[in-house]
Amino acid sequence: MPTSAFIHTTSELTIENGSVTWESPSNIALVKYWGKKEHQIPANPSISFTLSNCKTVTTLSYKKLSSPSDEYQFEVYLEGKRQNDFKPKIKTFFKRIEQYVPFIKAYEFKIETSNTFPHSSGIASSASGMSALALCIMSIEKEINPNLSDADFIKKTSFLARLGSGSACRSLEGDLVCWGTHKEIKGTSDLFGVKYPNEVHENFKNYQDTILLVDKGEKQVSSTVGHNLMHKHPYAENRFQQAHDNLSKLNKVFKSGDLKSFIEIVESEALTLHAMMMTSLPYFILMKPNTLEIINKIWAFRQVSGLHLCFTLDAGANVHLLYPENEKEQVLDFINSQLVGYCQNGHYICDGVGLGANLITD
Ligand code: DP6
């Protein structure tokens, strides 16, 4: 599909002003996106569970300018406070999407956003934040262009969200979303995320994700710097191939419900992501001593309990604990008795798989 397919002809802009609110969740990758080409094209396919509780709520208010502006006209507020340090990222986003939604130069915007998770929790808000903003912009497009089908609305929103932050294109729908072309998964594209189209075993329904907040500080490596580390990386090609292979394996595991293989793939992906960071130039260690303590405790717990708790990591020290819903009680007991002491101020967030974004008001 050519990117030109996302340029829709717009009729005259008769809408003077309005406001729209969307909430959009975060997601947690099982096969990781790490490395990208120009125009936010991923170096390998990835797949994630959409989350339910960790989300961003964004209201976009818009007012038509008397004449289109050369600059983008917008202000951003986080939890009611002006947030000028968000502006450069949003400006870059607007610049990347302008050719697909040219009307953004004809309006002035007020972007009011809030997260259900603490901003300084070390949880990436770019996936939920950029997807929520892309949805609000697409709501304006839908007003201008009412014939846009629901399927095309989601596809173009995911396309735009990717241009804001790659992982954001996986946040619109649930419960599993793939992004990046994979030969065995129909409909996959480098340009947008698609709902995982194949059979998913009962074992994975309502899967739980408890996020242990090991380090709530600012990200040590921004995602842009991180992805760039894969450019001259000595293991890059093998890593990209491994992601394809792991997605093929997961494709089978989702059907069979084989939790043992699921754990092996997911933990290997998390450790590979960190291995890539440790073996790039410059190199980084983003895990903290408590991250390793938690991992060792999980492995010991799994051995004695026979339960199916496993972990995954993003580009940081926090640990996502993944487990089937029917093991929730024992896992929460284990967290409270043995893991909570490794979390900063004892904080953790209970989440689970969700179904994607919701329109709050139109
Ligand atoms: C480690 O989506 O934050 O979370 O496209 O530069 O905004 P940009 O990167 P971003 O990268 C996320 C990387 C990851 C793995 C993943 O979510 O797949």
- Tell me, in angstroms, the distance from the centre of ligand 1 to residue 201's CA: 27
Pocket probe mutation, ligand 1, options 160, 179, 223, max atoms within 8 Å of Cβ: 223
Q: Which residues line ligand 1 (CB under 6 A)?
A: 29, 32-34, 40, 46, 124, 126, 165-167, 223-224, 227, 273, 314-315
The token duo for 102 is: 């040219």
Report the pLDDT averaged over residues 94-116: 96
Residues 6+ apart with CB under 8 A from 275: none
How high is the pLDDT of residue 264?
98
Share of the chain above pLDDT 70, in %: 98
Contacts of 165 (CB under 8 A, 6+ apart): 126, 127, 129, 130, 223
Which of 38, 92, 167, 266 to mutate for ligand 1's pocket (most ligand atoms within 8 Å of CB)? 167
- Output the residue whose Cα is nearest ligand 1's atom 5: 166
How far, in Å, is the centroid of ligand 1 from the Cα of 34?
7
- Distance between CA 230 and CA 281 in Å, rounded? 9
The closest of 134, 110, 136 to 22, measured between CA atoms, is: 136
Exposed/middle/buried for residue 251 (C-beta within 10 Å: 0-12, 13-18, 19+): middle
How far apart CA 326 and CA 203 sit, in angstroms, is 9
**Mutation to probe ligand 1, out of 26, 27, 31, 33 (largest number of atoms < 8 A from CB):** 33
Going along the chain from its start, the domains and CATH numbers come out as 3-199+355-360 (3.30.230.10), 203-352 (3.30.70.890)
Find the 29 Cα to ligand 1 centroid distance in Å: 9
Residue 9: its pLDDT value, please?
67
- What's the CA-to-centroid distance between 224 and ligand 1, angstroms? 9
> To 10 degrees, the CA torsion angle through 307, 315, 189, 7?
140
Q: What is the pTM of this model?
A: 0.96
Token pair 């995982």 is found at 196
Which atom of ligand 1 lies closest to the CA of 165?
A: 7
Whose CA is closest to atom 7 on ligand 1?
Answer: 165
**Residue pair 113/58 in contact by the 8 Å Cβ criterion:** yes
The pLDDT score that the predictor gives to residue 50 is 98
Q: Residue 126 pLDDT > 80, yes or no? A: yes
Which residue, judged by its Cα, is nearest atom 8 of ligand 1?
A: 165
pLDDT of residue 11: 65
Q: How confident is the model at residue 142 (pLDDT cuts 50, 70, 90)?
A: very high
Point out the ligand 1 atom lying closest to the alpha carbon of residue 166: 5
pLDDT of residue 218: 73
| Bridge-based pairing state of the strands 176-179 and 73-78 | unpaired
Ligand 1 atom closest to residue 36's alpha carbon, by position in its atom list: 5
Mean pLDDT of 147-166: 97
pLDDT attached to residue 216 = 81
Looking from the CA of residue 46, the nearest atom of ligand 1 is 18
Ligand 1 atom with least separation from CA of 28: 17
Residue from 185, 158, 160 nearest 172 by CA: 158
Chain mean pLDDT for the chain? 95
**Which ligand 1 atom is the nearest neighbour of the CA of 130?**
7
Residue 291 pLDDT > 90, yes or no? yes
Q: Is the pLDDT of residue 124 over 70?
A: no
> How many Å lie between the centroid of ligand 1 and the Cα of residue 32?
8
How far is the C-alpha of 345 from the C-alpha of 144, rounded, in Å?
Answer: 48
